[in-house]
A = this chain, B = another copy of it.
Amino acid sequence: MEKGYVQVYTGNGKGKTTAAIGLCMRAFGAGLKVSFIQFLKGRYTSEMRVFEKLGIEFFQGGRPEFIIGKPGKDDIDAAFKTLNMAKEKVSSGNYDLVVVDEINVAVYLGLISEQDVVDLLNSRSQNTEVVLTGRYATQKIIDMADLVTEMREIKHYYTKGVEQRTGIEV
Protein backbone atom coordinates (compact mmCIF):
# COMPACT_ATOMS: atom_id res chain seq x y z
CA MET A 1 0.00 0.00 0.00
CA GLU A 2 1.35 3.42 -0.85
CA LYS A 3 1.78 5.86 1.99
CA GLY A 4 1.24 9.59 2.33
CA TYR A 5 4.31 11.77 1.98
CA VAL A 6 6.56 12.74 4.87
CA GLN A 7 8.01 16.23 5.25
CA VAL A 8 10.73 17.10 7.76
CA TYR A 9 11.74 20.59 8.91
CA THR A 10 14.88 20.54 10.99
CA GLY A 11 18.01 22.60 11.72
CA ASN A 12 18.96 25.28 14.20
CA GLY A 13 17.26 28.26 12.54
CA LYS A 14 13.97 29.99 13.24
CA GLY A 15 11.02 28.96 11.08
CA LYS A 16 10.36 25.25 11.61
CA THR A 17 7.24 25.36 13.76
CA THR A 18 6.27 28.56 11.97
CA ALA A 19 6.41 26.81 8.59
CA ALA A 20 4.37 23.92 9.99
CA ILE A 21 1.73 26.40 11.12
CA GLY A 22 1.76 27.94 7.66
CA LEU A 23 1.25 24.47 6.15
CA CYS A 24 -1.76 23.95 8.41
CA MET A 25 -3.24 27.25 7.28
CA ARG A 26 -2.72 26.49 3.60
CA ALA A 27 -4.23 23.03 3.95
CA PHE A 28 -7.14 24.37 5.97
CA GLY A 29 -7.70 27.05 3.34
CA ALA A 30 -7.97 24.30 0.72
CA GLY A 31 -10.62 22.52 2.76
CA LEU A 32 -8.31 19.73 3.91
CA LYS A 33 -8.62 18.04 7.31
CA VAL A 34 -5.70 19.00 9.54
CA SER A 35 -4.36 18.06 12.97
CA PHE A 36 -1.49 19.75 14.78
CA ILE A 37 0.17 17.73 17.53
CA GLN A 38 2.93 19.35 19.56
CA PHE A 39 5.54 17.64 21.72
CA LEU A 40 7.24 19.37 24.63
CA LYS A 41 5.37 22.64 24.59
CA GLY A 42 2.48 23.20 26.90
CA ARG A 43 2.22 26.93 26.81
CA TYR A 44 -0.81 28.27 24.99
CA THR A 45 0.61 30.50 22.26
CA SER A 46 -0.73 33.08 19.86
CA GLU A 47 -1.02 30.59 17.01
CA MET A 48 -3.22 28.29 19.10
CA ARG A 49 -5.71 31.13 19.30
CA VAL A 50 -5.90 31.16 15.49
CA PHE A 51 -6.30 27.37 15.38
CA GLU A 52 -9.21 27.70 17.78
CA LYS A 53 -10.74 30.52 15.83
CA LEU A 54 -10.61 28.53 12.59
CA GLY A 55 -11.56 25.25 14.22
CA ILE A 56 -8.25 23.51 13.44
CA GLU A 57 -7.68 20.61 15.78
CA PHE A 58 -4.57 20.83 17.95
CA PHE A 59 -3.06 19.03 20.89
CA GLN A 60 -0.24 20.30 23.06
CA GLY A 61 1.45 17.39 24.76
CA GLY A 62 4.08 19.16 26.78
CA ARG A 63 4.14 20.73 30.17
CA PRO A 64 4.12 24.50 30.53
CA GLU A 65 7.70 24.50 31.87
CA PHE A 66 10.74 23.90 29.72
CA ILE A 67 12.66 20.74 30.44
CA ILE A 68 15.93 21.68 32.07
CA GLY A 69 18.41 18.92 32.76
CA LYS A 70 17.32 15.31 32.82
CA PRO A 71 13.63 14.80 31.90
CA GLY A 72 11.47 13.49 34.72
CA LYS A 73 8.80 10.79 34.71
CA ASP A 74 6.11 13.41 34.08
CA ASP A 75 7.92 14.54 30.94
CA ILE A 76 8.22 10.99 29.65
CA ASP A 77 4.56 10.26 30.38
CA ALA A 78 3.54 13.43 28.58
CA ALA A 79 5.67 12.49 25.56
CA PHE A 80 4.11 9.02 25.33
CA LYS A 81 0.65 10.48 25.54
CA THR A 82 1.60 12.81 22.68
CA LEU A 83 3.08 9.96 20.65
CA ASN A 84 -0.08 7.91 21.05
CA MET A 85 -2.19 10.86 20.03
CA ALA A 86 -0.02 11.33 16.93
CA LYS A 87 -0.30 7.62 16.08
CA GLU A 88 -4.06 7.74 16.33
CA LYS A 89 -4.21 10.71 13.98
CA VAL A 90 -1.75 9.55 11.31
CA SER A 91 -3.15 6.02 11.15
CA SER A 92 -6.85 6.86 11.18
CA GLY A 93 -7.10 7.86 7.55
CA ASN A 94 -9.29 10.78 8.59
CA TYR A 95 -6.68 13.48 8.06
CA ASP A 96 -5.07 14.98 4.99
CA LEU A 97 -2.27 16.58 7.01
CA VAL A 98 -0.92 15.80 10.46
CA VAL A 99 1.88 17.95 11.89
CA VAL A 100 3.90 16.40 14.69
CA ASP A 101 5.77 19.39 16.00
CA GLU A 102 9.07 19.10 17.93
CA ILE A 103 9.09 15.31 17.70
CA ASN A 104 12.77 15.35 16.69
CA VAL A 105 13.61 17.12 19.93
CA ALA A 106 11.60 14.55 21.90
CA VAL A 107 13.89 11.88 20.42
CA TYR A 108 16.98 13.96 21.08
CA LEU A 109 16.01 14.36 24.73
CA GLY A 110 15.40 10.63 25.04
CA LEU A 111 11.70 11.02 25.82
CA ILE A 112 10.82 8.70 22.94
CA SER A 113 13.08 6.60 20.71
CA GLU A 114 13.96 6.92 17.05
CA GLN A 115 12.19 3.58 16.58
CA ASP A 116 9.00 5.15 17.97
CA VAL A 117 9.15 7.68 15.14
CA VAL A 118 9.85 4.97 12.57
CA ASP A 119 6.80 3.05 13.86
CA LEU A 120 4.72 6.22 13.77
CA LEU A 121 5.65 6.83 10.13
CA ASN A 122 5.04 3.20 9.20
CA SER A 123 1.59 3.38 10.76
CA ARG A 124 0.51 6.32 8.63
CA SER A 125 -2.42 6.15 6.27
CA GLN A 126 -1.99 6.49 2.53
CA ASN A 127 -4.29 9.51 2.76
CA THR A 128 -2.18 11.42 5.24
CA GLU A 129 0.76 13.76 4.70
CA VAL A 130 2.89 13.80 7.85
CA VAL A 131 5.07 16.76 8.82
CA LEU A 132 7.75 16.30 11.48
CA THR A 133 9.61 19.25 12.95
CA GLY A 134 12.38 20.03 15.37
CA ARG A 135 16.15 20.24 15.51
CA TYR A 136 18.24 17.12 15.45
CA ALA A 137 16.27 14.99 12.95
CA THR A 138 18.16 11.70 12.81
CA GLN A 139 19.57 10.31 9.57
CA LYS A 140 17.08 7.46 9.64
CA ILE A 141 14.14 9.88 9.80
CA ILE A 142 15.65 11.94 6.99
CA ASP A 143 16.02 8.75 4.95
CA MET A 144 12.34 7.96 5.45
CA ALA A 145 11.19 11.44 4.44
CA ASP A 146 10.18 12.60 0.97
CA LEU A 147 10.95 16.26 1.59
CA VAL A 148 13.51 17.63 4.04
CA THR A 149 14.35 21.26 4.65
CA GLU A 150 17.11 22.31 6.99
CA MET A 151 16.52 25.72 8.54
CA ARG A 152 20.01 27.10 9.06
CA GLU A 153 20.59 30.01 11.36
CA ILE A 154 22.65 32.61 9.53
CA LYS A 155 21.97 35.37 12.03
CA HIS A 156 19.70 35.61 15.03
CA TYR A 157 18.68 38.61 17.07
CA TYR A 158 18.82 36.58 20.26
CA THR A 159 22.48 37.44 20.12
CA LYS A 160 21.46 41.09 20.26
CA GLY A 161 19.59 40.36 23.48
CA VAL A 162 16.06 40.48 22.07
CA GLU A 163 13.64 38.62 24.34
CA GLN A 164 10.89 36.37 22.97
CA ARG A 165 7.99 38.58 21.99
CA THR A 166 4.34 37.60 21.98
CA GLY A 167 3.04 37.42 18.42
CA ILE A 168 6.51 37.20 16.88
CA GLU A 169 8.22 34.28 18.62
CA VAL A 170 5.36 32.84 20.67
Q: A109 at interface (Cβ–Cβ under 8 A)?
A: no
The answer on a CB contact under 8 Å between A168 and B27 is: yes
Interface string of A1-35 (1 = CB under 8 A from B): 00001011101011111111111011111111000
Q: A154 at interface (Cβ–Cβ under 8 A)?
A: yes
Q: A120 at interface (Cβ–Cβ under 8 A)?
A: no
Q: A96 at interface (Cβ–Cβ under 8 A)?
A: yes
The answer on a CB contact under 8 Å between A96 and B152 is: no
Number of interface residues of A (CB under 8 A): 55
Q: Which of A46-78 contact B (CB under 8 A)?
A: 46-50, 53-54
The answer on a CB contact under 8 Å between A50 and B54 is: yes
Identify the 5 closest CB pairs spanning chains A and B, nearest first. Answer: A30-B167, A29-B46, A18-B22, A21-B22, A13-B149
Task: Give the complex CA separation of A5 and B160 in angstroms.
Answer: 11
Contact segment of A80-88, A110-118, A139-147: A139-147
The answer on a CB contact under 8 Å between B11 and A18 is: no
The answer on a CB contact under 8 Å between B22 and A25 is: yes
